C-alpha cells in the first residue's frame, strides 16, 4: 500500500517548491525514499514503478455535466416562473463553493479528490455562466 502514496507524490508541489528540505514548508511534506527532500518537490526516481503509474489520466464528466445542466435549464424555463432568478442564485452559490475550494487548494491542503471536485465545480460554474451570458447577449453586443 506504500507504493500507492508514491503514485502521485512526485513533482506536484502545490506551492511550486523544488527540492524542499526536511521538515518542509507545508503540511504535505512526504519523504518515502528517505533522502530528506519532499517527494512532492522533486522528480520521480527513474527506476521505480511509479513513473509508469503516474501517467494515469483522470476522467472528468464534461459531457455528462453539460447535458444535465442544459436539460435542467430547458426544464426550468418551462416550469419555473422566475427561472433567471433561480439560475442567478445557483451561479452565486457555485461561486462561493468554488472560491472556498480554491482557498483550500491555495493554502496547501491538496489531494486528488479536492482537485477533481474543483475542476468539476469549475465546469458547472462555466456552464451556468454561459446561461447568464446568453440572457444578457444584447447588452454585450
pTM for the predicted model, two decimal places? 0.54
Name every residue whose Cβ is closer than 8 Å to that of residue 21 and which is 6 or more positions away in sequence.
Answer: 36, 37, 38
For the segment 69-125, what is each residue's pLDDT rounded down to a tens digit?
999 999 998 998 888 899 889 999 999 999 998 898 888 877 788 888 888 999 989
Q: Residue 21, SS3?
A: strand
Cα three-residue angle 120-125-128, rounded to 5 degrees = 130
Q: What is the pLDDT of residue 56?
A: 57
Average pLDDT, the chain: 78
Amino acid at each position: 500500500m506504500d507504493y500507492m502514496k508514491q503514485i502521485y507524490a512526485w513533482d506536484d508541489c502545490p506551492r511550486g517548491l523544488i527540492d524542499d528540505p526536511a521538515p518542509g514548508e507545508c503540511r504535505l511534506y512526504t519523504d518515502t525514499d528517505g533522502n530528506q527532500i519532499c517527494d512532492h518537490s522533486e522528480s520521480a526516481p527513474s527506476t521505480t514503478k511509479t513513473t509508469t503509474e503516474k501517467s494515469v489520466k483522470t476522467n472528468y464528466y464534461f459531457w455528462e455535466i453539460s447535458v444535465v445542466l442544459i436539460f435542467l435549464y430547458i426544464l426550468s424555463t418551462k416550469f419555473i416562473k422566475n427561472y433567471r432568478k433561480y439560475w442567478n442564485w445557483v451561479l452565486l452559490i457555485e461561486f462561493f463553493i468554488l472560491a472556498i475550494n480554491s482557498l483550500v487548494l491555495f493554502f496547501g491542503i491538496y489531494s486528488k479528490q479536492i482537485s477533481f471536485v474543483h475542476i468539476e465545480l469549475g465546469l458547472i460554474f462555466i456552464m451556468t455562466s454561459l446561461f447568464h451570458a446568453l440572457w444578457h447577449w444584447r447588452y454585450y453586443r
